[in-house]
Amino acid sequence: MTTTKSPALPLPLPAAKALVLAGGLATAASTFIHWTWTSEFPGDLTVDGYPGGLQILTLAAGLLIALFSLPLYGVKGTRWLTPAGPNAPVLVLGAAAAATTWFTLIAIATELGGLANLEPGGWIAGVASLLPLIGALGLPQTGPTVGLPSSGGVLAITRHYLGSFTRLVGPNPDLAPVKPLNRWVETLIIIAVAGLGLTVFTYGIVTEYGELFIGFLILTALGTWALMRAGLVSRLTALTARHRGTTTAAAFAAAAAFPFTQSDDHFASVGVNILIFATVALGLNVVVGLAGLLDLGYVAFLGVGAYAAALVSGSTSSPVGLHLPFWGAALVGMAAALVFGVVIGAPTLRLRGDYLAIVTLGFGEIFRIAVNSLDGVSGPKVTNGPNGIRNIPDLDILGFDFGQAHTFGSFTLGRFANYFLLMLLVTAFVVTVFSRANDSRIGRAWVAIREDETAAQAMGINGFKLKLLAFALGAALAGLAGTVMAHVSYSVVPDPYQFAGAVPPNSAFLVAAVVLGGMGTIAGPLLGATLLYLIPEKLVFLKEYQLLVFGIALVLLMRLRPEGLIANRRAQLEFHDKDTDTAAPAETDDAPASTDPGSTAGLTTAGA
């Protein structure tokens, strides 16, 4: 399928290659010269010899281009970087460098008021970052060359060029499998990738201002695309499929290492909230992704768990004078959510499709209104109404006080870091539950119901019972997350448990996290939830436009990549189906992998 076409730009091949390499180096170098004169633009880009803020991203892009131009020159020992051919990755990386750099320059110009605020370094960066892209356009690519747009209009032209670019880059490759490496080498690779993932994630979480976060998103999205196009991602997926246990352990260890990289407990609190949100999204994925039931009131189960845990936490404002240990509170929270799930599910699950969505939405709102009313005035005094249950004491498990900072060697773990680690265990539990349920008789029955309920019933599946089971399991998992959430946030109030709001968790965000990330996968909702938590957290300058921007972004994403950021194993198989008769016999009898390759993710426009 590697039909080599003539390049988009008529450049001599050596010149094109040189342009890529030199451009990459020049881009990297330009970050050592100051880009602007005032430190009013966040990140202080006024210093020579010391890249800062957004310059770091340009530096990284430049260095990546330089690295990936080595296989372009056929340098020995670097060909493994681009198993699917060296030309396309530099093209995408060229676009990444240009996009990141020009985004920065435009941001400087708009925020400081005019291009005059750009200093020589900025101009150099702007020019240098275009060179690799131009050079890469001079390399023969697999896709068809870019033609001229057929009609006018800014949108039409943009779409035309974006579409042409995607086609020019070509689809992500289907690589023939290679001989496995030494077991230890493979393990080391997995560990290294987990470490890299941690670094990238940590960088994203600790970005201090919106511009940096947007730049970070641009670079990671395009960078991941480049890695996918290079074939590295499918190599890695194959490798992680061979070492499921190691991969899971490495991912878990990397996540557990996160609080140790933070000296400030603030980002640990961001981390723990992301974990809670992501875990609840994964629970919702049982309901939406596996069983195909659109539940628009799911956040209520999180609320049930949180309220249940708060009531038995020994809080002074709880009318229940009970103080259970955490495991007890967790069980109570899960059980309460489960009961609530069954009570709501039993009458509603006979409905299909849109009706179910509407009824669950209603029940979700009823929950919030009910806890608002149980304040002793309009109803019995249970939840204190809008005041909520406050002063929830910190957890104390086996003498480990979660409210105190603890020092381990040179690391200090603050309150949120403690909860982060606890929540990580809960997340690991939910991941295990999800993956085991998914790959089982029950999980298959859920997916069958999602695919065609009538046919599923004709196969002997009791549709109602299994849907109720999915609903109950999803509810219990959310309830469990709620019990931790009650303690993390000191107090439980009705507000967050609504259908739609500007900040997570709310039912709309949860559904969005699942759909955006990739239904039916594990990594999808985790990634989707992370993004959806960070975007409102980082882009505070959007203020009241947040929901609008958010909606537009969702619509765009669903147009470009309807299967979500991470394609389902089943959706992935669709691509593999093309090289059928070679690949299939090799993997006949082995039990298919239980989890999805969770290590990598990216925005691609594979099917555009």
Partner 1 sequence: MTTQTVPAPRPEGTAAATPLLEASGVVMRFGGLTAVNNVDLTVNTGEIVGLIGPNGAGKTTFFNCLTGLYVPTEGTVRYQGTVLPPKPHLVTSAGIARTFQNIRLFANMTVLENVLVGRHTRTKEGLLSALLRGPGYKKAEAEGREKAMELLEFIGLDHKADHLSRNLPYGEQRKLEIARAMASEPGLLLLDEPTAGMNPQETRAAEELVFAIRDKGISILVIEHDMRFIFNLCDRTAVLVQGQKIVEGDKETVQNDERVITAYLGAPLEGATDTAASTEADQ
For partner 1, how many residues bind (rule: CB under 8 A)?
41
Q: Which stretch binds partner 1 (CB under 8 A): 96-104, 171-179, 313-321, 580-588?
A: 580-588
| Residue 459 interacts with partner 1 (CB under 8 A): yes or no | yes
| Residue 430 interacts with partner 1 (CB under 8 A): yes or no | no
**Residue with Cβ nearer partner 1 (40 or 451):** 451
Q: How far apart are CA 377 and CA 348, in angstroms?
A: 30
Q: Which stretch binds partner 1 (CB under 8 A): 105-113, 127-135, 552-560, 583-591?
A: 583-591
Q: What angle do CA 282, 511, 421 make, to 5 degrees?
A: 35
| Residue 425 interacts with partner 1 (CB under 8 A): yes or no | no
Q: How far apart are CA 297 and CA 507, in angstroms?
A: 6
| Residue 444 interacts with partner 1 (CB under 8 A): yes or no | yes
Tell me which of 184, 398, 410, 581 binds partner 1, using CB under 8 A: 581
| Residue 428 interacts with partner 1 (CB under 8 A): yes or no | no
Contacts of partner 1 in 57-116 (CB under 8 A): none
Tell me which of 27, 30, 285, 568 binds partner 1, using CB under 8 A: 568
| Residue 462 interacts with partner 1 (CB under 8 A): yes or no | yes
What are the structure tokens assigned to 312, written together?
A: 């038995």
Q: How far apart are CA 290 and CA 596, in angstroms?
A: 14
Tell me which of 322, 346, 425, 455 binds partner 1, using CB under 8 A: 455
Tell me which of 181, 440, 552, 579 binds partner 1, using CB under 8 A: 440
Phi-psi region of 207 (alpha: psi -120 to 50; beta: other; left: phi over 0): beta
Q: Are strands 411-413 and 396-397 parallel, antiparallel or unpaired?
A: unpaired
- Cα 587 to chain centroid, rounded: 29
Tell me which of 48, 452, 540, 559 binds partner 1, using CB under 8 A: 452
Q: How far apart are CA 218 and CA 197, in angstroms?
A: 16
What's the min distance (Å) between Cβ of 428 and partner 1? 14
What are the structure tokens assigned to 57, written together?
A: 């991203």
Tell me which of 344, 448, 492, 508 binds partner 1, using CB under 8 A: 448
| Residue 443 interacts with partner 1 (CB under 8 A): yes or no | yes
| Residue 397 interacts with partner 1 (CB under 8 A): yes or no | no
Q: Which stretch binds partner 1 (CB under 8 A): 156-164, 256-264, 333-341, 582-590?
A: 582-590
| Residue 582 interacts with partner 1 (CB under 8 A): yes or no | no
On whether the CB atoms of residues 426 and 480 are closer than 8 A, the answer is: yes
On whether the CB atoms of residues 277 and 529 are closer than 8 A, the answer is: yes
- Cα 594 to chain centroid, rounded: 20
CB atoms within 10 A of CB 73: 13
Q: Which stretch binds partner 1 (CB under 8 A): 42-50, 166-174, 442-450, 500-508?
A: 442-450
| Residue 579 interacts with partner 1 (CB under 8 A): yes or no | no
**Element at 101 (helix H, strand E):** helix 87-112
Q: How far apart are CA 114 and CA 35, in angstroms?
A: 13
What's the min distance (Å) between Cβ of 468 and partner 1? 11
What are the structure tokens assigned to 514, written together?
A: 């699942």
Strands, E assignment, 241-395? none
Q: How far apart are CA 478 and CA 486, in angstroms?
A: 12
What's the min distance (Å) between Cβ of 577 and partner 1? 5
**Residue with Cβ nearer partner 1 (158 or 462):** 462
Q: Which residues contact 103 (CB under 8 A, 6 or more apart)?
A: 54, 214, 215, 218
Q: How far apart are CA 532 and CA 281, in angstroms?
A: 11
Tell me which of 261, 457, 491, 546 binds partner 1, using CB under 8 A: 457
The residues pairing with 323 across neighbouring beta strands, listed in sequence order, are: 313
Tell me which of 437, 478, 510, 535 binds partner 1, using CB under 8 A: 437
The single residue listed with the structure tokens 């956040």 is 299
Tell me which of 436, 556, 559, 607 binds partner 1, using CB under 8 A: 436
Phi-psi region of 502 (alpha: psi -120 to 50; beta: other; left: phi over 0): alpha
| Residue 588 interacts with partner 1 (CB under 8 A): yes or no | yes
Q: How far is CA 413 from CA 369, 408, 410, 418, 455, in A?
A: 38, 8, 10, 6, 53
Q: How far apart are CA 463 and CA 349, in angstroms?
A: 9
Residue type at position 291: A
| Residue 451 interacts with partner 1 (CB under 8 A): yes or no | yes
Closest of 575, 597, 443, 425 to residue 524, by C-alpha? 597
**Residue with Cβ nearer partner 1 (410 or 454):** 454
Give the HSE-up count for residue 517: Cα atoms under 13 Å, Cβ half-sphere. 32
Contacts of partner 1 in 25-44 (CB under 8 A): none
| Residue 463 interacts with partner 1 (CB under 8 A): yes or no | yes
Phi first, then psi, for residue 413 (nearest 5°) are -105, 120
What's the min distance (Å) between Cβ of 563 and partner 1? 10
| Residue 208 interacts with partner 1 (CB under 8 A): yes or no | no
| Residue 353 interacts with partner 1 (CB under 8 A): yes or no | no
**Residue with Cβ nearer partner 1 (544 or 581):** 581
| Residue 174 interacts with partner 1 (CB under 8 A): yes or no | no
What's the min distance (Å) between Cβ of 516 and partner 1? 19
Tell me which of 458, 543, 544, 582 binds partner 1, using CB under 8 A: 458
Q: Which stretch binds partner 1 (CB under 8 A): 149-157, 296-304, 323-331, 575-583?
A: 575-583
Residues in contact with partner 1 by the rule CB under 8 A? 432-433, 436-437, 440-445, 447-448, 451-452, 454-463, 469, 473, 568, 570-571, 573-574, 577, 580-581, 584-585, 587-589, 591-592
